[in-house]
Structure 1
Amino acid sequence: MVRFIYRSYMNGQTSYAIAKTLTERHIPTPAGKENWRQSTIESILTNEKYKGSALLQKKFTTDFLTKKTKINEGEVPQYYIEESHEPIISPEDFEEVQAEFTRRKKLGRKYSGSTMFSAKLVCGDCGHFFGSKVWHSTSKYRRVIWQCNNKFKGEHFCSTPHLYEDEIKIRFISAFAAFFQNREMVLETCRMLLEDLSDTSALDTKIEMLTMELNDIGTLIREHIQKNAESVQNQDSYNLRYDELTEQYERKKGLLQKMQQKRIEHQSRIESMASFLRTLEKTNEPIDYFDDSIWRTTIEKVTVFHDGRMVFQFVDGTEIEA
């Protein structure tokens, strides 16, 4: 079931769609319940234990009398153990899912697809994504086409044409063949780029410093409140100092959240580049058939223009018209 969830997600399904499918098939959740939730699917998709690793002390006990626990947000050390047990998902597939998970999260509500082409095809007229539509759904002439989701909205309709999936696949094969001609140079460049990207020490230092500063200000706030509770204070002075400290706390908290988000996006870029590099290293010749794995890991987006041109942008930034 874990492999099914990962495979469905990488084939374009949303977490909600996967949860709905499992519920309709009457497959019980890990807790033995009938209804699957989106949050359960997302938890499975991001849990490192399925690739054979373990992260210890995700939670810690704050009160040993009441047994109250709290999610560890840096208060106590965490320990990451690789190859701690037999994996269900390969580490490579797990990292691909993490990169895709972050990509979709960044897209937000724009991502609502159900296939591998979702949130990959972009309209050259308005910049919106293409979505799938079904023509003649109840007849033998049933066809799935892709067109701009914003095509018939607003005052000016988009002039980009609709596409058939077979056409997208054929053009991708052509674009990949042209891209493959520079394979060795791309591999060398990507290895250098990945090495540079992997050095996150400067970003980690900033996060560590902001976390320490935030904790220090939090301590000052608690001490300020405690002092006011234990002895008579001038309330105007107390409130003024309290407001100053809380303003500093919120400002530092905002900076920390931005740095943490930047770290997540940076890690996603590393994972995408690593997946791209692995795919290119094991692909020794141009492909003469559509490979969904190569499509997923090498293509960043495809821009479709009004005259039917399609420009394929690969993860390394290379653009090929096909």
Structure 2
Amino acid sequence: MIKELFVKAANKLLEDKDEIIANFESMKDVLFDTGPLATKQVELQNEMEIVTELIQQCINENANVALDQGEYQRRYNGLVQRFDTTKEDLEKVSGQIKEKVTRRQTMAAFLAELKKQDELLTDFDPLLWHSLVDCVTVLDKENVQITFKNGITI
């Protein structure tokens, strides 16, 4: 049953192949642009370096000058909190960059396979299945959704 549904769904996808490819080509630079994220990543890395230096200065000052330990601890804790927050933000931005790069590669591979298909399918092709299908959702005994790697669900 799934094989037959895949053939039907893939053929529906192949009917719209030129439009799908054209849409991807026109939108890929916008959808997968990592430029602003890379800029933010550099800013966060710089912020981490600055905060690291401030923490080190705080520790050195406490070691060399008699400071109120309550005030020192509040200052130190504030800097550590700032560092931790910046680190979390950096990890989030780095993850977003990685996700966009991975999604772009997945879409490029999907479209490369789609471009190779010159005619509609008559039989199930396991290689095409693996290169085009992201997931299959069984809704109930009679209904199944096939989600392709480009996000189209049939």
Same fold at TM > 0.5: yes
Which residue in the other structure is 1:171 paired with? 5
Correspondent of 2:100 among 261, 266, 271 = 266
Q: Spell out, residue by residue over 1:34-53, the C-alpha distance to the aligned partner (whole angstroms, 9 max, x if none).
A: xxxxxxxxxxxxxxxxxxxx
* Post-superposition offset of 1:209: 0.5
Structure scoring higher RCO (CA < 8 A, sep ≥ 6) equals: 2
Give the letter for the 2:108 counterpart.
Answer: A
Given residue 87 of structure 2, which amino acid in structure 1 is its aligned partner?
K
Q: How many residues align?
A: 154
The answer to whether residue 54 in structure 2 is matched with residue 206 in structure 1 is no
Is the CA contact (8 Å cut-off) linking 1:272 and 1:297 kept in structure 2? no
Report the TM-score when normalising by structure 2: 0.90
Q: Secondary structure at the match of 1:319?
A: coil
Greater helix share, structure number: 2
Gaps of 5+ in 1: 1-166
Q: Distance in 2 between matches of 1:198 and 1:258?
A: 16
Determine the C-alpha separation between the residues in 2 that align with 1:239 and 1:224. 10
1:1-322, aligned counterparts within 5 Å?
A: 167-320=1-154
Which stretches of structure 1, 4 residues or longer, exceed 6 Å deviation after superposition?
A: none
Higher strand share: 1
Residue 211 of structure 1 deviates from its aligned partner by 0.9
CA contact (8 A) 2:14 2:117 kept: no
CA distance in 2 between partners of 1:289 and 1:272 (Å): 24
Q: Secondary structure at the match of 1:302?
A: strand
Deviation of the 1:226 alpha carbon:
1.4
Gaps of 5+ in 2: none
Taking the aligned partners of 1:192 and 1:292, their CA distance within structure 2 comes to: 30
The whole-number CA distance in structure 2 between the counterparts of 1:194 and 1:297 is 19
Deviation sequence 1:35-85 (CA, Å, 0-9, x none): xxxxxxxxxxxxxxxxxxxxxxxxxxxxxxxxxxxxxxxxxxxxxxxxxxx
AA aligned to 2:35 is S
Instruction: Give me the TM-score of the superposition, normalised by structure 1.
Output: 0.45
What percent of counterpart residues are identical? 28
